[in-house]
């Protein structure tokens, strides 16, 4: 039997995806899970508990069960000799999240639904385990890059053409043929070919991929029926906020901008994503938010900086909160916000930062 899983990170996009799929495909037996690091903000935990009520259950996974350390993070930190994780050495995600998720899945063929939005230009986590296949329901292209590469490979042109022939009328086929028969080159690469086929007919492309996967070992290919092939919704940031608000689950409080004043100028700050309170991916202004809104957590993050290890390159958390440094960080944030305001909208959804998305780990922040 194929399992359908959805990781609840505590962020807005995975929360909205769970609500969306539950309402749109009530027949799908989705298993929701959360990998608990023990280091989330209380606001994140509140969102997860509201979602748990809405969804009717979330399996909580916690690494290092039975450890005498207070949190899984502290367990692994101790084991690594206080070596703090970083974007280059992200052992935290691997040990606390991916390993637990893969243990939860075991060897069963499994489809993992991931909430990367239609307005994001990035790929999500693609499991290295062949029995786990990622699907992205919010995007126009719901398939992962490995699947697309396989289906559109120049070696499979004849097979894809045969599948299209079996699925569509003459007129559509003659258009599809022009795209399918054109081999991939450095000018006509995978994403261009994918987009051409999606633009021609998204549902047809999905049906063709589904049929193709039936000739492979991919978990989706083992299903008799995959309702998402008939879904051509594209959901963007505004949709996410709407889904969360309409469901009553709501937006986590840490997203809500708080005003601050420096040198007579007004700016706002907020936390832009879920994840550990000390996450090294957060922006400098978010560290200041943590210092001023959750001083106890900032102190704890500071306590982890030992033996020359710091969360940020070239700057300790003690240095980051020197009054002149705080002033500078706030002024920089105000400058960015003014530029953003001049460029466009002031809606809440637009002011909630989603910067440098490519650098983030899908498992923690979606």
Query: Quick one: 337 or 363, whose CB is closer to ligand SF4?
Result: 363
For residue 88 the two structure tokens come to 């280059």
**How far is it, in rounded angstroms, from Cα 18 to Cα 193?**
30
Asked if 32 and 22 touch (Cβ cutoff 8 Å), the reply is no
**How far is it, in rounded angstroms, from Cα 54 to Cα 50?**
6
Task: Give residue for tokens 């995975």.
Answer: 14
Query: Quick one: 247 or 283, whose CB is closer to ligand SF4?
Result: 283
For residue 331 the two structure tokens come to 């002024």
Question: Which span (85-93, 120-128, 167-175, 213-221) binds ligand SF4, by CB under 6 A?
Answer: 85-93
Query: Which of 151, 275, 298, 333 is the binder for ligand SF4 (CB under 6 A)?
Result: 275
152 binds ligand SF4 (CB under 6 A): no
In whole angstroms, the minimum distance from the beta carbon of 281 to ligand SF4 comes to 6
The CA-based dihedral angle spanning residues 325, 327, 331, 308, taken in that order and rounded to the nearest 10 degrees: 20
In whole angstroms, the minimum distance from the beta carbon of 141 to ligand SF4 comes to 25
Query: Which of 34, 37, 141, 194 is the binder for ligand SF4 (CB under 6 A)?
Result: 37
Query: Quick one: 9 or 133, whose CB is closer to ligand SF4?
Result: 9
Query: Quick one: 164 or 281, whose CB is closer to ligand SF4?
Result: 281
In this chain, which residue has its C-beta nearest to ligand SF4? 275
11 binds ligand SF4 (CB under 6 A): no
Query: Which of 276, 326, 329, 333 is the binder for ligand SF4 (CB under 6 A)?
Result: 276
Query: Quick one: 125 or 212, whose CB is closer to ligand SF4?
Result: 125
Query: Quick one: 279 or 366, whose CB is closer to ligand SF4?
Result: 279
Q: Footprint of ligand SF4 on residues 205-264 (CB under 6 A)?
A: none
132 binds ligand SF4 (CB under 6 A): no
Question: Which span (46-54, 196-204, 211-219, 271-279) binds ligand SF4, by CB under 6 A?
Answer: 271-279
Asked if 134 and 4 touch (Cβ cutoff 8 Å), the reply is no
Q: What are the CA-CA distances from residue 313 to residues 3, 78, 93, 301, 316 (Å)?
A: 41, 21, 19, 15, 8
For residue 274 the two structure tokens come to 């879920």
For residue 365 the two structure tokens come to 């922040």
The residue among 37, 138, 52 whose CA lies nearest residue 90 is 37
The residue among 114, 97, 87 whose CA lies nearest residue 15 is 114
**How far is it, in rounded angstroms, from Cα 40 to Cα 125?**
21
The residue among 150, 127, 124, 146 whose CA lies nearest residue 137 is 124
- How many residues are present in the chain? 366
Asked if 249 and 19 touch (Cβ cutoff 8 Å), the reply is yes
8 binds ligand SF4 (CB under 6 A): no
Asked if 131 and 219 touch (Cβ cutoff 8 Å), the reply is yes
85 binds ligand SF4 (CB under 6 A): yes
**How many Cβ atoms are within 10 Å of 348's Cβ, its own excluded?**
14
361 binds ligand SF4 (CB under 6 A): yes
Query: Which of 21, 135, 279, 333 is the binder for ligand SF4 (CB under 6 A)?
Result: 279
Question: Which span (87-95, 111-119, 221-229, 287-295) binds ligand SF4, by CB under 6 A?
Answer: 87-95
In whole angstroms, the minimum distance from the beta carbon of 33 to ligand SF4 comes to 15
Q: Footprint of ligand SF4 on residues 90-109 (CB under 6 A)?
A: 90, 92-93, 96
Asked if 183 and 151 touch (Cβ cutoff 8 Å), the reply is no
For ligand SF4, the binding residues (CB under 6 A) are 37, 85, 90, 92-93, 96, 275-276, 279, 281, 361, 364
């Amino acid at each position: 039997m194929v399992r359908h899983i959805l990781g609840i990170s505590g962020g807005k996009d995975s929360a909205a995806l769970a609500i969306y799929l539950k309402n749109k495909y009530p027949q799908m037996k989705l298993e929701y899970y959360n990998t608990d690091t023990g280091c989330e903000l209380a606001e994140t935990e509140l969102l997860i508990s509201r979602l748990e009520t809405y969804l009717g259950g979330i399996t909580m996974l916690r690494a290092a069960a039975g450890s005498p350390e207070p949190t899984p993070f502290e367990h692994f930190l101790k084991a690594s000799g206080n070596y703090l994780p970083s974007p280059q050495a992200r052992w935290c995600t691997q040990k606390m999240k991916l390993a637990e998720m893969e243990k939860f899945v075991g060897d069963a063929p499994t489809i993992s639904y991931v909430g990367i939005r239609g307005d994001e230009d990035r790929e999500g986590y693609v499991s290295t385990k062949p029995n786990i296949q990622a699907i992205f329901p919010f995007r126009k292209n719901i398939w992962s890059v490995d699947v697309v590469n396989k289906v559109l490979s120049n070696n499979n042109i004849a097979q894809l053409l045969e599948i299209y022939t079996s699925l569509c009328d003459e007129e559509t086929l003659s258009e599809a043929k022009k795209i399918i028969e054109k081999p991939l080159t450095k000018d006509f690469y995978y994403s261009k070919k994918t987009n051409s086929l999606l633009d021609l007919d998204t549902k047809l492309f999905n049906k063709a991929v589904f049929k193709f996967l039936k000739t492979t070992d991919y978990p989706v290919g083992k299903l008799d029926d995959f309702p998402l092939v008939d879904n051509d919704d594209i959901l963007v940031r505004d949709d996410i906020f709407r889904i969360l608000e309409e469901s009553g689950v709501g937006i986590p409080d840490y997203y809500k901008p708080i005003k601050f004043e420096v040198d007579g100028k007004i700016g706002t700050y907020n936390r832009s994503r879920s994840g550990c309170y000390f996450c090294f991916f957060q922006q400098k202004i978010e560290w200041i938010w943590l210092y001023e809104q959750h001083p106890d957590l900032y102190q704890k993050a500071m306590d982890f900086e030992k033996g020359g290890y710091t969360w940020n390159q070239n700057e300790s958390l003690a240095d980051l909160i020197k009054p002149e440094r705080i002033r500078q960080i706030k002024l920089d944030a105000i400058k960015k916000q003014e530029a953003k305001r001049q460029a466009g909208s002031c809606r809440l959804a637009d002011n909630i930062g989603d910067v440098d998305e490519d650098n983030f780990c899908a498992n923690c922040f979606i």
